[in-house]
Amino acid sequence: MSQLIDITRPLHNGTPEWPGDTPVAFDFAARIADGDAVNVGRLTISPHNGTHADAPYHYNDEGIPIDQVPLETYMGPARVVDIRDWDAITIERLEAIDAGSAERLLLRSGAWSSPDVFPETWPLMQPNVPAWLTAQGVKLIGLDAPSVDELTSKDLPIHLACNAVGLFIMENLLLDDAPPGDYELIALPLRLRGADGSPVRAILRTTD
């Protein structure tokens, strides 16, 4: 029997946001305890808080927004790879583990040493990796780090390298309970018209 593994980081007041981005804020506009008929929440969020999908529009003003990314990008066969001992993500290391045979590649770097402390460093893809991945048939790269680029990057070379070859990006996955191997990924973004990204509820289903 297949099992479900939730690979979504919980969102809550205090979830660390990218420095300078909008923090998560959740409270109640109405509460039964205060005499209202129902509980009604109120949420402020950035599309890039927690586990999320980047739209090409996030890093390319001519790119498509999240509501136009094909849904099949975020559903289908996926492979989890443990890269916690890697200094960098290179073609040679990916070739050595046959990572190019996965349509959706999810990389566990262990970047988040604590869920309450925003990480400052994580393994980065070399600039030639996105083109190599798409040449192998990979359509989505997902990682447990906050970005495919480094924290201080202003020109986003890896985002742009992914954009140039049509490789889609998910960030801030929670892969601690997902052993390396092959799964089915289900991680649909919200249908936010014209948005630069979206939170996702990312799930892995084990395959028999």
Report the catalytic residues: 58
Per the DSSP assignment, residues forming a β-bridge with 182 are 79
Q: Which two tokens stand for residue 10?
A: 């919980």
Structure tokens at 200: 């996702």
CB 104 within 8 A of CB 185: yes
Backbone angles phi, psi at 182, to 5 degrees: -105, 140
Q: Is the separation of the CB atoms in 192 and 183 below 8 Å?
A: no
